[in-house]
Structure 1
């Protein structure tokens, strides 16, 4: 499925947008350009010469370069609209949008799902999870207004920065979004999410292939934002068990299925009790 068209007719009442947009509260504008551009005059930027690659090379032949740890923690900054390098620069990947043929389809128990119609190699960018970028208060208001029958599409991504600061990004594709909205959760996912920054500190929530994916295979990621389904800590498990009465069942069918979809209790907390823990 391409990036064109205004609505998925016959599926949901969704206004289609390939990129994230400012939410109803207007607290965050993901389209604002605040980063300076690099001065590279070559067709493709290289490490040690490009200011956008001061943290190291991000991609190798369109694949996200792996890190030495299981958790992908190195910040990724792509060249942006103000950069002088060419549009074919190897440090421009996520901003190019969909490169694979994807299909929305009806699953047996999980509602709509998303699958690939062609093989995807490990490390390749698959799609962005795009929608309205909200502030915390608006994200919490929408979550608390939901009933037990409503599907929750709001994702909360928390990044731990130097100095102990936590940066939160809330994206809601309920009314405005792209194909990422149809991705289902799996406790053994074939995609993982990495915040990618292009024009500003507001990240694109990019989903990459965690393994080689065959044509016809359903695409999925871990809604908790964990990388390669890392196990929960004892404290996290206890907290999840206490919240089971509010959680929805998981039908991913994996061998390590936790029986429930991931749960972010902070969005149900009051401002004074919000923990701000990692999602």
Structure 2
């Protein structure tokens, strides 16, 4: 069996994660599987200025089993987790606090409570065919509110390359590229562009919902390149489809929010099939990724 082929799980079903995750990822219906190169974490792509696998943080000097926010250099912004659940998560608010986990350079124990996302999958997930949205991702077991579910991982791109790839797409193509913008001090913005189209993880199968059950939070572990971690925004039941708001908000409201504009049929041409009461009818639209390439290279 070549490395490109999915490996079989212990139950005989083939593993979408190619054996690279903590748990095997099944697919339904059996025998049908999407084709792409699997990676559990980000990989460097064209135009990226920083290699996401490069260790850039010095690490804490804590000698305790679990780090404390009063003394740990990784917890300058407060404690991140409570019993493996993300703290301060609210149902209708964005999570704005920076999250830094302890890393490979830290002197604390591997059992430190500030190590959650880096531990990988903790729940059994399944890739499945939906009625209208193509492939989707669902959980096979109960997930409590605040627990880490999975990452959205793929190629880290430069802004010009992300724009080029987007502009090559037609309205019939699936768009996996995500732009994450973090506002920091003095009005500065950190942009991260991720494309899991050809090289990615199971996060690429997450569909949009105007009332999602997941919240995406940038989490930094070893590198300044954030790991796009998805946490349960509420309790999630077995067999429930997992989803997040592509616009970065919990609810895809019909109003401007930075570069996220009012969904428009003439602009995106991509209808939303989430079926929720607050459905905006069309997928969120990020104007900056469709702007003239000259603006991307000169800004």
Decide which of 50, 53, 68 is 1:28's aligned counterpart.
50
- The answer (yes or no) to whether the contact 1:78–1:196 under 8 Å persists in 2 is yes
1:56 aligned residue: 78
* Residue 182, structure 1, aligned to residue 182, structure 2: no
1:39 aligned residue: 61
Seen in structure 2, the aligned counterparts of structure 1 residues 204 and 236 have a Cα distance that, compared at 3 Å, is closer
2:152 aligned residue: 129
The alignment covers a number of residue pairs equal to 273
- The answer (yes or no) to whether the contact 2:254–2:280 under 8 Å persists in 1 is no
2: distance between equivalents of 1:179 and 1:41?
35
Seen in structure 2, the aligned counterparts of structure 1 residues 41 and 131 have a Cα distance that, compared at 3 Å, is same
1: distance between equivalents of 2:255 and 2:278?
15
1:103 partner SS:
strand
Decide which of 240, 252, 273 is 2:262's aligned counterpart.
240
- The answer (yes or no) to whether the contact 1:160–1:166 under 8 Å persists in 2 is yes
Deviations 1:205-248 (A, max 9, x none): 0000000000110000001111x216343587994356734330
1: distance between equivalents of 2:154 and 2:244?
17
2:231 aligned residue: 208
Alignment RMSD, CA only?
2.4
1: distance between equivalents of 2:263 and 2:205?
27
User: TM-score, normalized by length of structure 2?
Assistant: 0.85
Identify unmatched segments of 5+ residues in structure 2. Answer: 1-14
What does residue range 147-158 of structure 1 map to in structure 2 within 5 Å?
147-158=170-181
Seen in structure 2, the aligned counterparts of structure 1 residues 121 and 25 have a Cα distance that, compared at 3 Å, is same
Residue 28 (structure 1) shift: 2.9
Identify unmatched segments of 5+ residues in structure 1. Answer: 275-279
* Residue 115, structure 1, aligned to residue 109, structure 2: no
User: TM-score, normalized by length of structure 1?
Assistant: 0.91
- The answer (yes or no) to whether the contact 2:67–2:112 under 8 Å persists in 1 is yes
* Residue 145, structure 1, aligned to residue 189, structure 2: no
Deviations 1:187-215 (A, max 9, x none): 00000100001112110000000000001
* Residue 231, structure 1, aligned to residue 253, structure 2: yes
1:149 partner SS:
coil
What does residue range 81-96 of structure 1 map to in structure 2 within 5 Å?
81-96=104-119
Higher deviation after alignment, 236-245 or 38-47: 236-245
Deviations 1:20-40 (A, max 9, x none): 110133433111111111011
1: distance between equivalents of 2:51 and 2:279?
37
- The answer (yes or no) to whether the contact 2:163–2:293 under 8 Å persists in 1 is no
Seen in structure 2, the aligned counterparts of structure 1 residues 169 and 234 have a Cα distance that, compared at 3 Å, is closer
Decide which of 37, 62, 74 is 1:15's aligned counterpart.
37
1: distance between equivalents of 2:177 and 2:109?
35
Higher deviation after alignment, 26-35 or 89-98: 26-35
1:277 aligned residue: none
- The answer (yes or no) to whether the contact 2:89–2:146 under 8 Å persists in 1 is no
2:189 aligned residue: 166
